[in-house]
């Protein structure tokens, strides 16, 4: 039995990169999983590689209320209990500043990174509060850790003029995570912000970073993080005893001095 064998997790953006690595890590440690992303074929292959029995697949756009509700419903229907470990991860980057980034991607980025993340935080919080143990009602909660883990960003904390439109969505998400932590702490629900620096994934290409310029930066500060480095941190945080909460962590490649 793994240390997370009692847990039911939902991971948005699990078809690639950090979300995929987190899904694998949680699964290896025994959690039951609901995985989401738009590319359903990739999710099916991932579920198959995990043996399928502890995994439910919910393809769809994580910025839509219908998909968010479907992810949470899938946990209840498949595993007969409300999810207690939510990974708010789906997102995308965008190269450039307010003056130089491609306006055509603003809407999708803001919807995914901010609106989708906020919807998942909101609905997960509501369901955890409705159905979980509540210390304010005198319920015992120490055997039932509950987590909402938000993948924000280092550029949601330190301003990077090179990706400032993207950074603005992460500043918003970082602040929502801390605000939700304050709101839910009395109810013994841990809301954790993980703010990664540079992680090598599909992110750089989708964001449109210049492979030469940004590639050179990654080489200079490298080796940069792998998605598995972030996944290991998430697993550590959520497997602390229920009364211990690691609130907020920046994880950077060792040689990344900026941003």
162 near ligand NAP, judged by CB under 6 A: no
37 near ligand NAP, judged by CB under 6 A: yes
Distances (CA, A) of 222 to 16, 21, 128, 206: 21, 20, 40, 20
Of 110 and 188, which has the nearer Cβ to ligand NAP? 110
Q: How far apart are CA 11 and CA 23, in angstroms?
A: 7
Other CB atoms within a 10 A radius of the CB of residue 113 amount to 27
13 near ligand NAP, judged by CB under 6 A: yes
What is the footprint of ligand NAP within residues 163-192 (CB under 6 A)? none
Other CB atoms within a 10 A radius of the CB of residue 80 amount to 8
3-state secondary structure of 116: helix
What is the footprint of ligand NAP within residues 45-64 (CB under 6 A)? 61-63
- The Cβ-side half-sphere exposure at 190, using a 13 Å CA radius, reads 26
In sequence order, the β-bridge partners of residue 86 are 10, 148
CA gyration radius for the chain?
Answer: 18
Of 120 and 184, which has the nearer Cβ to ligand NAP? 120
101 near ligand NAP, judged by CB under 6 A: no
253 near ligand NAP, judged by CB under 6 A: no
Q: Which stretch binds ligand NAP (CB under 6 A): 44-52, 69-77, 85-93, 210-218?
A: 85-93
Minimum CB separation from ligand NAP for residue 176, in Å? 13
Residue 45, H or E segment: helix 40-49
Whether the CA torsion 131, 230, 197, 188 is positive or negative: it is: positive
Minimum CB separation from ligand NAP for residue 1, in Å? 28
Of 14 and 55, which has the nearer Cβ to ligand NAP? 14
User: Which residues sit at the interface with ligand NAP, rule CB under 6 A?
Assistant: 12-19, 36-39, 61-63, 89-93, 112, 151, 153, 196, 198-199, 201-203, 206, 227
């Amino acid at each position: 039995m793994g240390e997370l064998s009692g847990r039911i997790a939902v991971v948005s953006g699990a078809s690639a990169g950090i979300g995929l690595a987190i899904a694998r890590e949680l699964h290896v440690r025994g959690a039951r999983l609901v995985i989401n992303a738009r590319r359903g074929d990739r999710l099916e292959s991932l579920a198959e590689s995990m043996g399928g029995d502890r995994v439910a697949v919910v393809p769809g756009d994580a910025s839509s209320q219908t998909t968010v509700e479907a992810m949470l419903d899938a946990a209840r229907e498949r595993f007969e209990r409300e999810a207690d470990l939510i990974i708010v991860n789906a997102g995308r980057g965008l190269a450039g500043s307010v003056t130089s980034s491609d306006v055509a991607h603003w809407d999708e980025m803001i919807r995914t990174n901010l609106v989708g993340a906020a919807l998942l935080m909101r609905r997960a919080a509501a369901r955890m509060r409705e159905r979980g143990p509540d210390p304010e009602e005198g319920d015992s909660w120490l055997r039932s850790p509950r987590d909402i883990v938000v993948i924000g960003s280092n550029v949601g904390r330190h301003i990077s003029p090179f990706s400032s439109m993207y950074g603005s969505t992460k500043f918003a998400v970082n602040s929502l995570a801390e605000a939700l932590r304050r709101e839910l702490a009395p109810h013994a629900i841990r809301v954790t912000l993980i703010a990664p620096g540079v992680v090598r994934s599909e992110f750089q290409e989708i964001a449109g970073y210049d492979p030469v310029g940004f590639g050179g930066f990654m080489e200079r500060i490298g080796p940069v993080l792998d998605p598995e480095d972030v996944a290991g941190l998430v697993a550590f945080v959520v497997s602390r005893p229920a009364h211990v909460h690691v609130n907020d962590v920046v994880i950077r490649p060792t040689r990344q001095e900026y941003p």
